[in-house]
Structure 1
Amino acid sequence: MFTRLLTLINATGGKVSAPKLRYVYAGGAPLDPTLKRDVEACFGLPMHHGYGMTEYAGSLFITNFDRPRSDCSSGEIVPGAELR
């Protein structure tokens, strides 16, 4: 989705103006470092990443919104989940 958004924005020469946008988030696949860099530059926000599974019905790991990461990690385990 972000690849397509960036392609459209670049093709139209437009700038993103989204003053109420609070965060950008990706999940469902490994996060490409180049995509993360480009999205952050375009939107002016840190890109967060998470990992989950269908059986859990949500994210098991997510980057902390108060502590954005510079790498492409899927973050920390969510509160209430347990690992074995």
Structure 2
Amino acid sequence: MTEADIKRIVAESVKQTLTEIGVNLDEPFEFQKDMAYLRGWRTSSDTIKRQSVLTAVGLLTAGFLGAVLYIIRGH
């Protein structure tokens, strides 16, 4: 088997696989846009998760400090 045969087989396999998962090979830029859009959603979701955890930690810290001050002041 020659290198050209291997390249042809690989190219056909990749094309078949992409077609089977729903990639329109006639419009590769549309697929790239779709992937960029999904990446945007993923990074937005990660940011929201990170901010939620930071907010929860801040609330717990403020509550704890408030309770400590309440105890210290003797109320």
Q: Say yes or no: TM over 0.5.
A: no
Larger RCO (alpha carbons 8 Å, 6+ apart): 1
TM-score category (smaller protein): under 0.3
Which of structures 1 and 2 has the bigger CA Rg? 2
More helix by percentage: 2
TM-score under structure 1 normalisation? Answer: 0.20
